[in-house]
Structure 1
Amino acid sequence: MVLLGTLVNAALIVIGSIIGRLLKGIPENMKQTVMSAIGIAVVVLGIQMSFESDNFVLVIICLVFGGVIGEWIDLDKWLNRLGQYIEVKFGSKDKGGSIAQGFVTGTLIFVIGAMGVLGALNGGLRNDHELLISKGIIDGFTSIILAATLGIGVLLSAIPVAIYQGAIALFATQITKIVPEAALKLFLQEMTATGGIMIIAIGMNLLGLTKIRVANLLPSLIVVAIAVAFIHNF
């Protein structure tokens, strides 16, 4: 079953979020301390990811062009509107956090990174789900803390994770036929580094140091794919 790893990953996010909401009664000062710890950990993770690139100038160029495209489309606004729409459907804001904020933050953290892409490809090509299940365990523990501090909206981030990774798993055979192995390896490397910068921005937002519209940087990942295709072919 090619979607097993994806479904386990999404399910662990849901389970972790539910557990996190059961812990919502923890004192406010404890929540702030935990959120600071998460923010710092996320920044460190982003720094580690950003060192994957062998050509940091390429990462900067992709972030600049991706940021311009993202601001033009204003993905951040649309993601927040989707979260707010869900919030209205729930009837009110989740006590202890905004559903929109939890949804957007969770989606960005769980979607960005090469682990999901590699895991989905392994699942689709070899029926090997170990990597995605490992990612699911990490995401599950992360979602516990995020849901305890940001609210139940974190649970809803399981939906884009399932769609994104599921699509890659289902079309894995076609992807590997079209994309040469060397190009795919380069893409994953540069995507990890570019995603790492976004992860750093998410961590800084969680720490309250910045208010970066990270969702508007997501087109950078598409720009990375275009740049890699150009480099590989020329």
Structure 2
Amino acid sequence: MVTAGFDVDGIIQGLSNFRGTVFPGQQQMYQRLVRDGQQPKALMIACAESRVSPEHIMQSGPGDLFACRNAGNIVPPFSQQNGGVSSAIEYAVVALGVLDIVICGHSDCGAMKGLMNPEALGNMPNVAAWLRHSHAAKQIVCEAYPEGMDPKKRHRAVALENVVVQLNHLRTHPSVATALARGKLRLHGWFFEIESGQVLAYCGERSRFIPIAEATGVPVAQASASRIATPEFAGPHAGPHASPQTGPEPIPHAIAAE
């Protein structure tokens, strides 16, 4: 028997307050959105976690963000099997023409805890199957990070590496690959720390996460720059999105964010 659930009275009160108090002051904005249609500049792929609200974090309003949320902020690699995330990505890039895609992970992520403790998913086969798309993040931490890490730091490292893994999956989608090649799209990897409110951004040039508050501008995982591989069609300024790595092997992404 359910002993506690939705606060129905609270929901009704909230809806009533929106309709009677909030909406009248924003009615012209909503009418404009209906008249002109949606024109979001960014797609944000975030976790379904109830403590993480993309619109709240970015202080954005209606029409600003095209949001897609799921357990673990996962982007399955492109395949012929249709899915909600793949469809949202294609629609955002092709139909809406978004200029930026943000994958946003967060601290204390239950999905990443499940990834690291698969025995806890014994009665959740669909969740276990979904988290296979994050297996690379788990393997990176298990094999490339120091042994004997504190469990909390280990979990944080997996959540950070998962953002980078999903960015790599995102590049496999034809709509994204085409927009990147045309220099019409930027990719971002963010990590929201619930306990402090700080947001880290993945810097593709440095292969690490950087606190946005400490950066000059917002670091990007992949900048907007046209890339044509065939020499006879490549212009004088066409080139890779980021310079090749030189020097010593880069520090694992999550360690660099400490």
Query: TM-score, length-normalised on structure 2?
Result: 0.26
Question: Which of the two has greater strand per residue?
Answer: 2
Which of structures 1 and 2 has the larger relative contact order (alpha carbons within 8 angstroms, sep 6+)? 1
Name which one, 1 or 2, has greater alpha-carbon Rg. Answer: 2
**TM-score normalised per structure 1:** 0.28
Structure 1 or 2: larger helix share? 1
